[in-house]
Each structure stands twice: as structure tokens, then as C-alpha cells.
Amino acid sequence: MEDFGSSALRKLIDEFSDAVQLTHADHGDATALVDPARIEDVMRFLRDEADFDMLMDVTAVDYLGQTPRFEMVYHLYATGPNQRLRIKARVAEETPEIASVVPLYASADWMEREVFDLYGIRFDGHPDLRRILLYEEFEGYPLRKDYPKERRQPLVGPRN
């Protein structure tokens, strides 16, 4: 019998044959790489049609040297069947922008702000997109791989 994650991926492929670029479901680790332009539609479909009623995590990865450079990662959870699904979307370096999923999942609010704070990826439609962990004076995005390892931006005290 097909597991829950695989059947959710199959539903997703049937619905968005043009937007889903890659899937795998090894050892219950169901993952789909989707078109970033369609992320809102995909997430809405998974929430309304596939029982994924909880957004556990939003994060990003910087693959410096690849194009597109960034990868958004969304971890979805279905509380009823106790199953998980991972959605990924690649974001270009020149225009690091993707649609916000705050209108779908309120929990995305602070997590998208964290991604914006540390990676500099902008979220269209986010209600309050500003830094959350770092201070307003901070320049740059420290979790990008090209942020200088030695660079310090203290508010008081010596620079290094």
C-alpha cells in the first residue's frame, strides 16, 4: 500500500503537473521541488485538499555557485494522519523573492521574517517584513555563504 506522503505527492503531481519539478519519497521522506511562482497555489492545495493543516518550519539554504542560488524549504505536517511533507522551491540570486504564505499559515509570519533577516529573501505579501533576530543597524545577511566570516558589527565595544 502506498504511504501517505507518496499519495500526497501523487495528488500534487496530478493537480500541478506543470509546477512540480522533482519529487522523491524515500523512507517516508516525501519531498517535492516546485516552481517558486506557484508556491502559493501549491500550499493552498496541500492545506485544503491534502490535510496538511500545520506549517512546522520555513527555512532556506544558500547553494553558493549554483543557479538558482537559494532554496526555500517548507515543512508541512498533517495532524490527523500524523504525516509530514517537505516542499522546496529554488529562488534566484538576482531577484530573491517569493510569495509569502502568511495568508495561508499564520505561523509563517516570524519564520519568513527570520529567513529575510538571515538570508535576505523577500516575501511578497508579508504583512510586516523586517528583521527579527538581528538589529536594524546590521548590514548584510549573515547566513549567506558569501558573508565574511570575520565581519563583526557590534553596537558597543571594539569592532573585532
Site residues for other proteins per CB under 8 A: 133-135, 142, 147-160
Q: How far is the CB of 133 from other proteins (least distance, A)?
A: 8
Q: Which is nearer to other proteins, 73 or 143 (CB)?
A: 143
Residue 153 beta carbon to other proteins: minimum distance, rounded to whole angstroms: 7
Question: Of 74 and 141, which CB lies nearer to other proteins in the complex structure?
Answer: 141
Q: How far is the CB of 145 from other proteins (least distance, A)?
A: 13
Residue with Cβ nearer other proteins (56 or 143): 143
| Cis amide linkage into residue 68, ω under 30° from 0 | yes
Q: CB of residue 35 vs other proteins: minimum separation in angstroms? A: 33
- Which set of grid coordinates corresponds to residue 54? 500545520
Measured between alpha carbons, how far is 136 from 130 in angstroms, rounded to an integer?
8
- β strands within the chain, DSSP E: 20-26, 29-34, 54-62, 70-78, 83-91, 97-99, 122-124
Beta strand 70-78 with 122-124 is unpaired
Give 26 or 150: the residue with its C-beta nearer to other proteins. Answer: 150
